[in-house]
Structure 1
Amino acid sequence: MARSDRLFRLLTALRRLPQPVTAARLAEETGVSPRTLYRDIAALRAGGALIDGEAGLGYTLTEDPALPPQMFTRLEVEALTLGLAEVRFAGDPALASAAEAALAKIVATLPERVQRQAMHAVSLTYRSQPRPPAPAWLATLREACWEERAVDLAYRDRDGAETRRRVLPLSVVFLDRSLMLLAWCCLRRDFRRFHVAEMSDVALSAESFRPRRVALLREFITRIRADNS
């Protein structure tokens, strides 16, 4: 691993893990020996990171030179922590991990007083009946939306009939108890809403529909609003 990548991973671990973080835990997170870890801590300090602590006591990142300072009101901090907590509940593992990392980066840019507010926000997210786990292909659908690539899949409709489809994925919608994909269906030649849980055998195709996604999604949403008015 390149040294710059290793230092970036160490900074991310210092932002994300409960502090103080032991050297053993940081070495495990970054995949290096304790001796290399101590050198990397010294390198970050030399680069301007304010890291309190030492071997045997653990380390705390109190000032992060890689991130610009941010200022949020207490209500904004509460909204951020609540919203990202909801993503951790609803998303697939990759999205949940990204939400955790994003919150760590945001908190790392805050003044100490506001950091304490973020760590002790008064609003929490809880689900007595959690949403079913996100299917493994959710990450594939999200990637297809970003890359504007068609997806091949099998889909079971409300009557239990299964068909093979090629769709142009436009957006993943997180509903209360389910996930839905807004897409253009190449089989039906029209817009369709697909329940993600009813999909199987999902795979990215080589077909690109760039740069049509935004225009298609705008047209689909306009149609949905007209139907609901």
Structure 2
Amino acid sequence: MPRTDRMFRLLHLLRTLPGPVTAARLAEETGVSERTLYRDIGALRSAGAVIDGAAGFGFTLTEDPALPPQMFDRLEIEALVLGLAEVRQVADPALAAAAEGALAKIAATVPERVERQMMHAVTMSYRFTPAEPARFIDTIRDACWHETALDIRYADAEGRATERRVRPLAVVYTDRHATLLAWCCLREGFRRFHLHRMTACAATAESFRPRRVELLRRVIAEMGGRT
């Protein structure tokens, strides 16, 4: 692992793991010897990170130089905690992990009083019925970002299966499942595809980048701005 990537990894571990974190654990997670780990801790301290602890005890990040100090009022903290908790329940493992990482980064930038409010927020999010798994979500998300078409196999509500090429525009999460909003080349129109009804999904090399903005405008107009 390149040293720069290792240092970012070390900072992330110090943000997210309950402290104090032992040198042995940090060395294992970053793939280096404990001797190198101590040097990396020293380098982070020299760069401005306030890291409490020492060899044989463990380390705790108390001030993170990579993130600017932030100040939120109590309602803003409630909104952040509630929103990220909701993200963790949408059956998308990558987004759930990102929400955990975002919460850890925010906690590392706020004063201790505000961090305590985050840990003891009075608003919670809970779903009695788990959302359907967001199938093929990583492939779909990459195609949306890179603006490339997908080849999918899809079963409708009656179980009839079709194979289609689609131009993915956005993923919409509801309380029950994730839905892909896309231009369907087979039907020559905009369609919503429930991810749990997809039985196959493959990336293609076909780019629709020049048309993406136009397609988004059309679908928003067609759906009366509801998307």
Tell me how far apart the structure 2 counterparts of residues 127 and 27 of structure 1 sit (CA, whole Å). 38
Could you tell me whether the CA contact under 8 Å between 2:91 and 2:132 is conserved in 1? no
Equivalent runs, 1:103-118 vs 2, <5 Å:
103-118=103-118
Tell me how far apart the structure 1 counterparts of residues 170 and 203 of structure 2 sit (CA, whole Å). 15
Shift of 1:50: 0.2
Q: Deviations over 1:69-112 (max 9, x none)?
A: 11111111111111112112214222211111111111211122
Stretches of structure 1 that go unaligned for 5 or more consecutive residues are none
Q: TM-score normalised to the size of structure 1?
A: 0.92
Q: Residue in 2 aligned with 1:96?
A: 96
Q: Residue in 2 aligned with 1:86?
A: 86
Stretches of structure 2 that go unaligned for 5 or more consecutive residues are none
Could you tell me whether the CA contact under 8 Å between 2:22 and 2:56 is conserved in 1? yes
Equivalent runs, 1:30-41 vs 2, <5 Å:
30-41=30-41
Q: Residue in 2 aligned with 1:65?
A: 65
Tell me how far apart the structure 1 counterparts of residues 217 and 115 of structure 2 sit (CA, whole Å). 38
Shift of 1:129: 2.5
Could you tell me whether the CA contact under 8 Å between 1:171 and 1:217 is conserved in 2? no
Matched residue of 1:168: which SS? strand
Q: Deviations over 1:182-221 (max 9, x none)?
A: 1000000001011111112201111111133233223212
Q: Residue in 2 aligned with 1:22?
A: 22
Distance 1:82 1:49, change over 3 A: same
Q: Residue in 2 aligned with 1:205?
A: 204
Q: Residue in 2 aligned with 1:222?
A: 221
Please tell me the residue identity of whatever aligns with 1:166: R
Q: Residue in 2 aligned with 1:127?
A: 127
Q: TM-score normalised to the size of structure 2?
A: 0.93
Percentage of pairs with the same residue: 66
Q: Residue in 2 aligned with 1:182?
A: 181
RMSD: 1.6
Tell me how far apart the structure 2 counterparts of residues 111 and 210 of structure 1 sit (CA, whole Å). 43
Shift of 1:47: 1.1
